[in-house]
Amino acid sequence: MAAVAANLPAEVEDGEPRREEVPDLDSQRRQIENGESGPKFVTRRGFCLWRRPSSKEKRKCRFLVGQHWYKQWEVYVKGGDQDSSTFPGCINNAKLFEDKVNWNLKKGLVEGEDYVLLPAAAWNYLVSWYGLEHGQPPIERKVVELRGIYKVEVYPVELLLVQHSAMDTPHTAQFSQTDSVDLVLRAAREQFVVSPQEETRLWVKNAEGSFERLCNTRVTVLDAALKSGQLVVMETRSKDGTWPSKQPRTVSSASKEDENFQGQPGICGLTNLGNTCFMNSALQCLSNVPQLTEYFLKNRYLEELNFCNPLGMKGEIAEAYADLVKQAWSGHHRSIVPNVFKTKVGHFASQFLGYQQHDSQELLSFLLDGLHEDLNRVKKKEYVELCDAAGRPDHEVAQEAWQNHKRRNDSVIVDTFHGLFKSTLVCPDCGNVSVTFDPFCYLSVPLPVSHKRVMEVFFVSMDPRRKPEQHRLVVPKKGKISDLCVALAKHTGVSPERMMVADVFSHRFYKIFQLEESLSTILDRDDIFIYEVSGRSSITENTREDVVIPIYLRERTPARDYNNSYYGLMLFGHPLLVSVPRDRLSWDALYHILLYRLSRYVTRPSSDDEDDGDEKADIEDKNSIPKPGNAVGGSSQDPGPEQAGPSSGVASGSRAPVDNSPGPSHWPQRARRKHLFTLQTVNSNGTSDRSNFNEDTHAQPYIAIDWDPEMKKRYYDEVEAEGYVKHDCVGYVLKKAPVRLQECIELFTTVETLEKENPWYCPSCKQHQLATKKLDLWTLPETLIIHLKRFSYTKFSREKLDTLVEFPIRDLDFSEFVIKPQNESAPELYKYDLIAVSNHYGGLRDGHYTTFACNKDSGQWHYFDDNSVSPVTENQIESKAAYVLFYQRQDVARRLQSKPQPGLSDPPAPPACDPLPKSEFMDIN
């Protein structure tokens, strides 16, 4: 509180006499005594306490008068002689000051001993009668209320004000503890001659020597815990939109080159911090919403920061976003690094911590909600009971719903992005109709989904001369395995009854499917093989039906041990499903059947080769061909982590040979002959031999073909084995018909039945019902965000819809979708123009986000790809990657264009709020 430097008496209030109208001494005494405010004051820690003043006195201040002069004056007036030698002369408070330069009060002055306190009226009387010592300022002090007690603040808080750029030249200023921090900021701006267009903020140096932000400038000096002698730093935002305290101590050469850069405001990239393209895309879209960006550039957000909202982020998200906007639209950056914003987002939304890829629409939803709560003009949200229509007219219910929404939610986000739905629920049992109106921030519209699905499979014929064929099949999305076989039969001519479908992974069968299983269990990335088999395996035993046996290929690999006699086994190649007649279930017959099936890429040895390998084959037969009852064994109940096993579809049912294949005790003993490979029963994972087999259990037999490395090298052609051909259907380009955006909106407003997981409680039936639900658009916002639901998630599958959605750049007409009675004289209230698009390229596991946006100043479209920005034409905007669309209502665009060019205004003060926000910290360079 700066002292008033004036020696002349202030204007006399309430008809007080001027100096030339000096009354007699008795009248002077009565007027002064009547002007005083009650009993003597009690001094306590720099304050004088007294009785509760009247409402008029609360607005008054008090003046200090030296005790010596005041006592002299009392003696003079009581003597009654105006010519007496006791005349006190001019009011002289010299004994109360420490010096005659800054006129600071001495410390430890006591009321009643060193000074008296007079009301303003009494002070004005005395000054008008006696005058004030030349050069001395009046000592005026405020009457303040602190925690319900009224006091005279004799010693104000003295703060040392400095600029961030000149920390060594502090300026002392006095403030009352009831003054707002905003007054401190205004005093600092005035002291350091800061122009109204420049934005400033305050930091205070605490006892530990670090600096904390004074975020909420509407709290008092007392609530901000400011003490006399504390250093308060005023920081001024740079022309490029950054704060000096946020700049690194070491400036890179690249940033030095950009110091004098001047480009188009808003044409600024965002550095990818590591999988943060989703965040960059959402920020670029939001930054190009004209009215929101103007709101931040003109500093209107400062007066609406809500630091005490329990649902908000203490203003930190809003301030971090404002910093980004000011930097991007300063025109001084080619690109900026949004690391501070990323840190703030991760702090308040843990799902965005780290550097994993996320959804730009999810980040956008969080950001809009965070900005809304940080800028909510409603400081204390009242309880609002939601009311059903109960037969009332729609316009009445809608108006009530919107007013109730605004009673709790009122911000620039609501003004810009919020609209109103009409939701109609109908009970299927009693027919009860419930109508409510609900606000929305964006539309998540579904894409028309095709009921067909394209699957790629490999067909393996029983004819060993034919290579596997790759086929591209169109099947029902909710179809069964049998539908896949029927579709393949049209291409191959092989009956679906002679097909078995398997998922092959890592050279083994991950799963062998049953005919009735759903296709939804097969993912697009799965390698699906369909094998031709000779026929069915019988339900009953002792029939002459064929048995289908899974075959694995393995290679012996030498492993080091003490005896150098152990061989490891590695799977390789593609497994087979081989039909074997039940009456030929012998090792020797099976060997020749497999040799025939492998004949395309396995060469039969000549007679000389057989003689050379005779001895070796005999030795191997002794060691590796199992004997009945002990060598051929193992249990299929020990499946590995990536296998199908008996439970995967080969253990039961007509398609599986499980119940019809003989156990190992039924297999004839193999004769010792000269073989290219040996056969071994294995578990369903194909990685270990079967042992201790229970003969009473009819488990699916899995056979491994084990190759010696030398024999494999001589007789096995790996190139030929891996070869396959593409059927003509693979070359067909399956074009998806594009859909119009209006079709998506129509689908959004169609009637749907609630899912079992989300029933509706009918107040009439008193129970949860799978009601029908219909959403209609009642009112639309200034800026409409349309989210295209490209990502589909079900229990068994996830997919991205790459359907081309045709959306207009201009004149998107919503008049046919808005059911509220329309104003026909203002058609622009229902027409929208595109201003930004968030794009997603790639699939579910990986992808990349970019942005198309129209600059609000130039009207030019640009493509934002992280820190790269390039101009584009309008015909480049529409693509299959379009994910989130931003549309602006045409009347809003015209209104913004009619306004003068934006200029920065004085930074307004944020609203008052009792709790202090979480402090920030600053390094003083």
Helices (H), 453-522: 481-492
* Candidates 68, 491, 507, 848; catalytic one: 848
Entry field: residues in the chain = 925
Catalytic member of 48, 61, 277, 854: 277
The token pair that represents 433 in the structure block: 């109709």
The torsion angle over the Cα atoms of residues 676, 681, 685 and 687, rounded to 10 degrees, is -60
Q: What is the C-alpha separation between 346 and 723, in angstroms, rounded?
A: 50
Interatomic CA distance for residues 311 and 413, integer angstroms: 15
Given a contact cutoff of 8 angstroms between Cβ atoms, the answer to whether 831 and 814 are in contact is: yes
Q: Which two three-digit tokens encode residue 758?
A: 């989300």
- Helical ranges in 749-860 per DSSP H: none
741 and 786 in contact (C-beta within 8 Å)? yes
Structure tokens at 84: 């007496």
Active site residue 744: no
Whether 282 contacts 364, CB under 8 Å: yes
Contact indicator for 702, 552 with CB cutoff of 8 Å = yes
How many whole angstroms separate alpha carbon 604 and alpha carbon 572? 20
Amino acid type, 188? A
Closest-CA residue to 240 (of 320, 334, 303, 149): 334
- Clarify whether 277 is annotated catalytic: yes
Q: Cα separation of 192 and 174, whole Å?
A: 16
Show the tokens assigned to 418.
């919020």
Q: What does the buried/exposed string (b/e) look like for 783-805 if buried means 16 or more CB atoms within 10 Å of the residue's CB?
A: bbbbbbbbeeeeeebebbbebeb
Q: Please choose, from the candidates 864, 908, 893, the residue with its C-alpha nearest in 3D space to the C-alpha of residue 278.
A: 864
| Cα 731 from Cα 726, distance rounded (Å) | 8
- 3-class secondary-structure state, position 707: strand
- Which token pair is 660? 């019809």
Q: Are strands 61-66 and 140-146 parallel, antiparallel or unpaired?
A: antiparallel
Half-sphere exposure of residue 24: CA atoms within 13 angstroms, side-chain side: 5
Residues 6+ apart with CB under 8 A from 166: none
Among candidates 158, 175, 160, which has minimal Cα distance to 228?
158
Per the CB < 8 A criterion, the answer to whether 886 and 292 are in contact is no
Strand order across the beta sheet in which 419-426 lies: 433-440, 419-426, 772-779, 752-753
Give bridge partners of residue 444 from the DSSP assignment.
Answer: 787
DSSP 8-state assignment for residue 19 = T
CA 890 – CA 714 distance, rounded (Å): 77
Contacts of 405 by beta carbon, 8 Å cutoff, 6+ apart: 414, 418, 439
Amino acid identity, residue 893? A
As a whole number of angstroms, the distance between CA 378 and CA 563 comes to 83
What is the biggest distance separating any 2 CA atoms in the chain, rounded to whole angstroms?
A: 154
Measure Cα distances from 215 to 181, 306, 311, 909 in Å: 9, 11, 18, 10
Rounded to an integer, what distance in angstroms lies between the CA atom of residue 755 and that of residue 767?
15
DSSP run (H or E) holding 364: helix 360-374
Tokens of 835: 């201003």
Q: What angle do CA 672, 676, 677 make, to 5 degrees?
A: 75
Strand residues in 477-559 grouped as ranges (E): 499-505, 508-512, 528-532, 546-558
Catalytic residues: 277, 848
